[in-house]
Structure 1
Amino acid sequence: MTTSTHETRIDVDPEVPLVRITREFDAPPAKVFRAHTDPELVAQWLGPRGLEMTIDHYDCRTGGSYRYLHRQGEEEYGFHGCFHEVRPDKLIVQTFTFEGMPEGVALEKLVLEDLGGGRTRLTSTSLVDSFADRDAFVASGMEVGVREGYERLDEVLARG
């Protein structure tokens, strides 16, 4: 297990029901993008440690969709959504639904910024219907999954 030297910032917007995640990676945008779009790589890092991930389908292209499961023992958590816009090495816009709360759909935008020197800044925003939904999203343990997932992504990126 690698300990990252980069902070994962998770901020809630006081004006709109939005969560913003900012994180830097020691890899160029093309590698970070590939780790978000290649299902074999996604399965290696997305989510917290200790959960097994199974991908039902993952078609990361404009108009594509995805569904995956996280399992821990007998517990199973399903997630699905659609990719609305995918621009290589720069942008992914998608919906995100936790199947345990199917009425709560988030609109997510992931932007990759080339910092030079083989480094990338990732900024991800998740917009939901209400402040209550946003607060429930944050309270659900999402923070642990995001931080551990990005630590795992550092490990995937370091392996090349």
Structure 2
Amino acid sequence: MMTTQQREATIEAHPTLPLITITRDFDATVDQLMRAHTDPELYARWVGPDVIETRILEWDARRGGAWSFINLHEGQEFRFFGSFHDVGADRIVQTFTFEGMPEHVSLETLRFEDLGDGRTRLHAQSLVDSIEGRDAWLRSGMEVGVNEGYAKLDQLVADGAL
């Protein structure tokens, strides 16, 4: 197994809007990252913290399609679901909802910027329902899941799985 250089995502809260942005560079092409985000088998292998297992329940990565998965951790199940609003060559727009808090739906936009030489920058933004909701996400420890998940994605690329 080849190892990869560890990178941290930049996670920022907009000062006056209920918006979180994430920026992260990858040694992967736009096509590889789009596949990692739209292929359910691949997505389940990298998303989230190392301590969880992800089981895909539904996955239709196209405009108007829906998705849902369960995270399994220490005998507990946590369900997430949403809709794909747009899936293009270098962009995904989707909703994201934790079943335990269905009133807190976020609108997520992922954009993949080709940096050349097989490198890509991910620009992600999550628009939530309030500043309080945004701050709760930031306090939740989301950076662990983001960074550990993206490290697993780096490893899938390095191992030739994408």
TM-score relative to the length of structure 1:
0.96
RMSD of aligned residue pairs (Cα, Å)? 1.2
Q: Distance in 2 between matches of 1:28 and 1:97?
A: 28
Match of 1:158 in 2: 158
Q: CA deviation at 1:7?
A: 2.8
Q: Distance in 2 between matches of 1:143 and 1:7?
A: 9
Per-residue CA distance 1:29-51 (angstroms, 9 max, x = gap): 00011000000100100000010
Per-residue CA distance 1:81-122 (angstroms, 9 max, x = gap): 00001102x100000001111100000000000000000000
Per-residue CA distance 1:60-81 (angstroms, 9 max, x = gap): 1111110000011221111000
Provide structure 2 residue ranges, at least 5 long, that are not aligned to the other structure. none
Match of 1:113 in 2: 113
Match of 1:46 in 2: 47
Aligned partner of residue 14 in structure 1, secondary structure: coil
Number of equivalent positions = 159
Instruction: Give identity over the alignment, percent.
Output: 53
TM-score relative to the length of structure 2:
0.94
Query: Is 1:137 the counterpart of 2:152 in the alignment?
Result: no
Match of 2:93 in 1: 93
Letter in 2 for 1:96: F
Letter in 1 for 2:111: V
Q: Distance in 2 between matches of 1:3 and 1:139?
A: 28
Match of 1:61 in 2: 62
Q: Distance in 2 between matches of 1:111 and 1:95?
A: 15
Letter in 2 for 1:157: V
Q: Distance in 1 between matches of 2:152 and 2:7?
A: 12
Q: CA deviation at 1:5?
A: 3.6
Query: Is 1:10 the counterpart of 2:1 in the alignment?
Result: no
Please say if residues 94 and 107 of structure 2, whose CA atoms lie closer than 8 Å, have aligned partners that are also in contact: yes
Please say if residues 4 and 158 of structure 2, whose CA atoms lie closer than 8 Å, have aligned partners that are also in contact: no
Provide structure 1 residue ranges, at least 5 long, that are not aligned to the other structure. none
Q: Distance in 2 between matches of 1:159 and 1:59?
A: 26
Q: CA deviation at 1:149?
A: 0.5
Q: CA deviation at 1:124?
A: 0.3
Q: CA deviation at 1:3?
A: 5.3
